[in-house]
Chain A
Amino acid sequence: MTVIKNGQPADSAWLHLTDEALPATGAITVSLDRWLKEKAELGTRIEAVGVRLNACDSLDTLVQDVAALPIVVLDMEAFTDGRCFSQARLLRDRLGYTGELRARGDFLRDQMFFLSRVGVNSFEFAEDTPLEDRLKAFAEFSVTYQSASDTPEPLYRRR
């Protein structure tokens, strides 16, 4: 996998587990379901553990835990499903989450600007993705009208 984090190509050591056994070492992410089931055990791991959200996951069950998570991954199954955009805003603006918020799966280059505006600061791609091209996506707009997670003030207060 290859990653853009905070507007720069970056390394990523996160291993995304489904229901396979925990590796002895290394940083891992698990689904919200698995996190809720195995929280006690996972919490004792020395290496970091992150949580992955599906579009249909409610954030209510994560309220207590989220502040301590080093990474939350939005697993996008279909780029047309826009629920993750609201999940991202709620994580940042409502739950005050300040860690890494990553988009993963089926998202388009053309959604990266919007994703960055709702608080996503990390993007995971297949190995052969031309990152230079993807980085351009953030610079397509220099003007934004409305407040969002990246800009708390709407344009009209800055005009």
Chain B
Amino acid sequence: MYQYDHYDQTLVNERAAQFRDQTRRFLAGELSEDQYRPLRLMNGLYVQRHAPMLRVAVPYGLLSSGQMRMLAHIARKYDRGYGHFTTRQNIQFNWPKLEDVPDILDDLASVQMHAIQTSGNCIRNTTSDHLAGVALDELEDPRPYCEIIRQWSTLHPEFAFLPRKFKIAISGAERDRAATQLHDIGLQLIKNEKGETGFEVLVGGGLGRTPIIGVVIRPFLEKQHLLSYLEAILRVYNLHGRRDNKYKARIKILVKETGTEKFAEMVEKEWNAICDQMILDQAEIDRVSAFFQPHPYETLPTIDPSIEEKKQTQAEFAAWFRHNTVAHKIPGYRAVFLSLKPHGKPPGDMTDQQIDAVADLMDRMSFGEIRVTHTQNLVMADVRQSDLFTLWEELRALDLATANVGTATDMITCPGLDFCSLANASSIPVANSIQALFDNLDYLYDLGEIRINISGCMNGCAHHTVGHIGILGVDKKGEEWYQITLGGSSSNDASLGERLGPSVPKSDVSAVVERIFLTYRDLREAEESFLDTVRRIGIQPFQERVYDSH
């Protein structure tokens, strides 16, 4: 992974020092709350329902074991012994004290981490494929470009006060695991007819109140123009994005109101004026790529007989292998998902002990690295098959081996009313009530791949609009009600879910979701997935079943 040199380290140290001074001035009354707000937000610090919330950047979701240990230390020392992994592949701490935050930033800087631009109206953490570098369907590893964009966007002097937040995602694989169509800018690595690799550039995707799927404004962009093109898009957005209404300030609204063609023209015009001065040198691509070279893998047989035998004799291990591990491009290795969705616990949370223990496992079994997924799980991407049984046993002891990755209980859930000051309704208890339907895992496995996303308000932090089943909490006269949508997807076939019908009270959500499951079971054809079934038959059969006898 990328290692800081003295330039990177100096910048992060200086940022921590700057924030210490800003906080001192705020506490001394030299900065007003309104003046301090954007400054603290650009360092990931929110003021929340119970306490400040600090969001720490995990660039494109990649962490070293040393960084994990520091996160455990922060959870222990400054928080209540846990952290919460987010859909932007970051981690949040829900209980730090404002006065402690400068110290936390110093601690983070000591392991090459920071909280820069994890919030605020600026360019946020660039997200990517959690299987980058190991996926079988990958054209090229997107992480060097993520890092190049991280550096370009970090403390970019022109784009720190945009109309609204700005999110970029990159995928280098055939299957889009980074939801590139739902970002302000989505970059998809592709090959052109000459066999050169470059980027397809999408803009204007996004979730929240006005979910929109992004549009292509440039079918092929040469790598050397990556930064100039991004700069052109950002400049057009900075100058022309709406600032009169924060709900219409994202670039998706500008693209929609301007029209794709006209917007693309504006970008191309700006880009033509700057592209020659902003060439991304191949030498820099090579320098950064050198940090993401394949690990020193062993030559191993594709099939490990001892693991095959364990799968035959241990049904639970076999289920875990099937659901929580995926193929690796190197024979004899697999990528392993650590489920942060044990039934009955807050999705995405980890305790300091779990984080420390996982850091040791990373060192022993996965080259000291781990990735955060945008579905709020972790991936040890480079595990020898021969280690899988031991790893499973150890993860099971840590409650990190629930064999549910990709299934109905592997839900994306925002912190909701329990923690977030924006929320209208709770999310975590609803997720837990759905998980409680599955005391029988065979039922869960029979339903196959189902993505359920639960947001506690229409800001949609849990991406409910692109859940196969989306659940949105709304406030109705002080009570928590929930709107259900079906048929959303954030993958290659991105689509927005369709509303099932009137919202339902909190106590009915799990029963409604169960009726949806049963309808699917009755009406699916052969091996048809939930999403495919919804797309084939539409939502009417689900509506009838949910509301008729309701």
Contact = CB atoms under 8 A, between A and B. Distances in A.
Tell whether A pairs with B.
Answer: yes
Contacts of B153: 146
Contacts of B258: none
Contact of A159 (B5, B156, B274): B5
Nearest to A159: B7
Given A108-B35, A142-B10, A156-B287, A114 B277 contact: no
B281 to A, nearest CB: 7
Interface stretch (B158-166, B450-458, B518-526): B158-166
Given A142-B10, A145-B155, A156-B281, A85 B238 contact: yes
Interface in A112-140: 113-115, 117-118, 140
B107 to A, nearest CB: 20
Contacts of B11: 141, 143-145
A83 to B, nearest CB: 6
Nearest to B273: A94
B18 A85 contact: no
B152 A146 contact: yes
Given A155-B7, A159-B7, A80 B161 contact: yes
Nearest to A115: B157
Interface string B273-288: 1100110010110010
A86 interface: yes
Contacts of A146: 151-153, 156-157, 227
A12 interface: no
A152 B243 CA distance: 30
B151 A81 contact: no
A86 B38 contact: no
A155 B11 CA distance: 12
A79 interface: yes
Contacts of B76: none
B315 interface: no
Interface in B215-251: 227, 235, 238-239, 243
Given A110-B39, A141-B14, A146-B151, A86 B157 contact: no
B127 interface: no
A86 B154 contact: no
Nearest to B21: A140
A155 B162 CA distance: 23
Contact of A143 (B10, B156, B157): B10
Contacts of A117: 157-158
Contacts of A87: 239
Contact of A85 (B22, B161, B273): B161
Contacts of B39: 108, 110
Interface string A74-94: 000001111101110100011
A79 B161 contact: yes
B121 interface: yes
B158 A89 contact: yes
B197 to A, nearest CB: 20
Contacts of A37: none
A131 to B, nearest CB: 15
Given A141-B11, A144-B155, A152-B277, A82 B238 contact: yes
Given A94-B273, A156-B284, A86 B238 contact: yes
Contacts of A145: 11, 151-152, 154-156
A50 B66 CA distance: 56
Given A145-B11, A152-B277, A156-B281, A80 B157 contact: no
A60 to B, nearest CB: 12
Given A85-B159, A140-B18, A146-B156, A157 B281 contact: yes
Contact of B157 (A85, A108, A142): A85
A81 B242 CA distance: 11
Contacts of A18: none
Interface string A52-88: 0000000000000000000000000001111101110
Given A118-B157, A146-B227, 11 more contacts: A81-B161, A82-B162, A89-B158, A111-B161, A113-B157, A114-B157, A118-B158, A142-B14, A143-B8, A146-B151, A146-B153
Interface of B: 5, 7-8, 10-11, 14-15, 17-18, 22, 35, 38-39, 121, 151-163, 227, 235, 238-239, 243, 273-274, 277-278, 281, 283-284, 287
9 contacts: A82-B159, A82-B160, A83-B238, A89-B235, A143-B11, A143-B14, A156-B287, A159-B5, A159-B7
